Each structure stands twice: as C-alpha cells, then as structure tokens.
Amino acid sequence: MTQTTESSARGMRRRTAPDAQHRPRFHRAWIVAAVTFVTIIGGAAFNSLPGLLIDPLHTEFDWSRGEIGLAVSIDMALYGLTAPFAAALMDRFGIRRVVVVALSAVAAGALASVWMTAAWQLMIYWGLLVGLGSGSMAMAFSATVTNRWFVARRGLVTGILTAAGASGQLVFLPLCAWIIDAHGWRPASVTVALAALVVVPFVWLLMRDHPADVGLAPYGGTYVEKPAPARGAASRTVRILLDAARTGPFWLLAGTFAICGASTNGLIRTHFVPSAHDHGMPITAAASLLAVIGIFDIIGTIFSGWLTDRFDARRLLAVYYALRGISLLFLPMLMAPTVHPPMVFFIVFYGLDWVATVPPTLALCREQYGEDSAIVFGWVLASHQVGAALVAFLGGVARDAFGSYDMVWYASGALCATAALMALVIRRVREPADAVVR
C-alpha cells in the first residue's frame, strides 16, 4: 500500500511539472514586473521633495541647510540600511505584505510632516518613517522580483525597474515644483502621501510572491517549487553580510556604489535645485531640469541593462563613473540664471549616466554571490545610501560655510574617477551553468 501511494505521488509530480512549465504567450512575470514598476514610482514620489523644500523650509522655520540636510541624510541612510533586511523579510513574509506596509509608512511620514513645527520632527517623519518605508522598496525589491520571476532578460528587466525611480522623478518633480510655487510645500507633501497610498491596491491584487504561486516557471527558466518561508530574516541578513565582507569584490562593489549614491541622490537630487537657485534660476526651472534628467535616466538605464546582458559589467562601470566625474568638473561653470544649451547638454549627459550603474552592479553581485545576491545587493545598496547621506549633509554644511557648492562638485568629480579605477580591479568569476539566458 505504501509503495503504491508513493508511486502515485511520484506520478502526480511528473504530471504536474510539465503543466507548470507550460509557458503562456504572455508570461505572468511581465505583469509582476509592471506592478513593481508602478510601485517603485509611487514609493519614489517622496524623493522628488527634499531638493525642492530646502529653501521653503529654511525660509519658513529658519532651519539651517545643514539641519535640513541631516534629515535628508537620515532618510537616505535608513533607505540603504533597510534594504538588505527588507529582502530577507520578503523571503519570510512575502513581497506583497512587506511592500504594502512600506507604502503605508511612506504615506504616514509624508502626511505627518504637514503639521511639523520643529527640526526633530522633520528628522522623525522624513528620516525615520519615510526612510524605513522607501528602503523596503529599494533596489533590493527589484532584485528579489527579478531573481524570482526571470531567468532570461534579467539585465533588461533590471534596467526597466531601475528606471522606475527616474519615471517617478519625471512625474512628480514638475508637479511638486508647481504645487510648491502656487500653493506652498504642504500640499506637495500631501500629494506624495496620496501617491503612495494609491499604489497599495495594485500591489495587493496583482503582485504574487513566486511563479509557483500561479503554477508557472520563471520567464525563460524551468519550474521550481516555492521555497518554504525563510525564518530568522535578520540573522540570515547579517550572516550573509559577514560572509560577503570576507571577500574583496564586496568592498569594491560597496565602495563604487557609495560614490554612485554620493554623486546622484546625495549631490544632484538634493543640492542641484538650491545651487541653481543661488545663481538666480527659478526653482520651477531647476526642477524641470531634474525632470529632464529623469527622462534620459530611463533611456540610459534600460540601455545599460541591454549592454549588461552582452558586455563585461566591470568595464561598463568604469566608463560610467569616468564620464560622470568629468561632467561634474564642468558643472560649476555652467550655472546661470537661465537655462542655456551647455546646461541642457549636461542634464542629458548626466541623465543617461544617472543609474546606469545599477544593472552592471547587480549583475556582478549575482555573478559573485549567486542565490544570496539580492541580500548582498541590499548591503551594497546600503553603502550607496550612506554615501548619498554623507553628501546630502556635508553638501548643506559646505554651502553654509563657503556660500557656494563649487567645492562639492569638484570633490564629487574626483570621487567618481576613483570609482572608475575600483571597478576595473573587481575579479571575474566563471559563470554558473544556469547563467542568465542572453
């Protein structure tokens, strides 16, 4: 009887697997990727605000730019430090639950800031709540979705999902700048809260944690059973960090990505608008330039994902960082009261390079660390945000001390040159048998 039962069970598994491996014309993975894209847009709406609100908050509350920059730096640091734990929590509790809670935290922080009257409240609402919420939807979220749902086209999908943040910037920067100019900063903060809440139903109804939940194989791969929930999320995350920290490539990836964060989120996203305003450019015009960065960011990131599927990721990173550093050295000479062609060229050039670094960095994490790559990438992302946090804070301090941002631009350009050299010395690893289908 027992042998008969076991034979029946094996037969059932043999009959189930081919059905589960059936690939429909339109794979469910693309729906999950689309929901992830929209989620990142909604969650990233808050990232449009800090650079726009430095001057209004300084004027209304007489807070120094250093104080405001400290709140932004707390947000960015927690964004990064939360990401690896969020990846492990998604393994334990599922993607849907973690993302819904994260969106709610972003909405709560943005909405609560409407009633703040002291700088410490800014640090709680912007720094703590929004930092924890947005960090749970950071690039480690994209990495988790990509690793689970895709085998083929991982580089391309990574580029598309990374571009979602830029798409949010493209949508919300001009909108929030117009709202602030016409109605003040509080309605803009409410708009961001509503954007986060609107996405929640899409996540709950359309997102699925694993292809096996709907009886499918990953796109371009073979069917695998859904793994049991991974317990001990925090200890696993720390253990993976300790293991990765014993390897040289981890520190090189973390160092280059810290410079990436310093030269994008910490520098341009936080300080470009107030710097341009120092030179007489209206806030709405400067915000529109950042939105244009978002347009070309989408193009550059998707193209970078395509390139990552075909070329050495280390060399791609070296080129990206070198070009970024050169462009930053010229920026102080381009600042003017009006928008002129050389500034537009900088914006287009910088936009193409903005987060083009993400697909090759994630590919190198996957190459070096295999199935733990999403959590390792979360820790690498933490370094990205720590770098961003330091420059968000130090950039404000430098502006208070020297009266301009020039030294910050030059120092960031030199850092990018260092990152280019670091990328070239990351060692290669032979690709595993189940490497990405190209």
Can you give the pLDDT at residue 110? 87
Q: What is the Cα–Cα distance from 177 to 192, expressed in whole angstroms?
A: 12
Contacts of 401 (CB under 8 A, 6+ apart): none
Can you give the pLDDT at residue 317? 93
CB atoms within 10 A of CB 191: 18
- State the SS3 of 63-123: CCHHHHHHHHHHHHHHHHHHHHHHHHHHHHHCHHHHHHHHHHHHHHHHHHHHHCCCHHHHH
First-residue to last-residue Cα distance in the chain: 48
**pTM over cut 0.85:** no
Find residue 414's DSSP bridge partners. none
Nearest to 438 by CA among 303, 302, 305: 305
Is pLDDT of 3 > 50? no
Q: What is the Cα–Cα distance from 70 to 322, expressed in whole angstroms?
A: 29
Is pLDDT of 45 > 80? no
pLDDT in tens, 323-357: 999 989 988 888 888 888 889 899 888 888 877 88
Nearest to 135 by CA among 47, 49, 201, 70: 47
What is the mean predicted confidence (pLDDT) over 211-237?
78
Give the mean pLDDT of the chain: 81
Band of pLDDT at residue 423, cut at 50, 70 and 90: very high
Q: Note whether 399 and 54 are within 8 A (CB).
A: no
CB atoms within 10 A of CB 22: 10
Can you give the pLDDT at residue 166? 66
CA of residue 96 relative to chain centroid, distance: 18
Q: What is the Cα–Cα distance from 56 to 46, expressed in whole angstroms?
A: 16
Q: What is the Cα–Cα distance from 414 to 433, expressed in whole angstroms?
A: 39
Q: Note whether 252 and 426 are within 8 A (CB).
A: yes
Is pLDDT of 42 > 90? no
Q: Note whether 21 and 181 are within 8 A (CB).
A: no
pLDDT in tens, 85-137: 777 788 788 888 888 898 888 889 889 988 988 888 888 888 888 888 887 87
Can you give the pLDDT at residue 438? 36
Q: Note whether 141 and 362 are within 8 A (CB).
A: no
Can you give the pLDDT at residue 14? 40
The stretches of 123-278 forming alpha helices (DSSP H) are 131-135, 139-149, 154-183, 185-206, 233-244, 248-263, 270-278
Q: What is the maximum span of the chain, computed from C-alpha positions, in angstroms? A: 86
Contacts of 115 (CB under 8 A, 6+ apart): none
Q: Which two tokens stand for residue 150?
A: 């895709």
pLDDT above 70 coverage of the chain, percent: 88
pLDDT in tens, 267-300: 888 888 888 888 888 878 888 887 788 778 778 8
Can you give the pLDDT at residue 434? 41
pLDDT in tens, 233-256: 678 788 888 999 999 899 999 999
Q: Note whether 153 and 308 are within 8 A (CB).
A: no
Can you give the pLDDT at residue 91? 78
Can you give the pLDDT at residue 140? 66
199 against 371, higher pLDDT: 199
Nearest to 168 by CA among 77, 55, 293: 293
Is pLDDT of 26 > 80? no
CA-based Rg of the chain, rounded to a whole angstrom?
Answer: 22
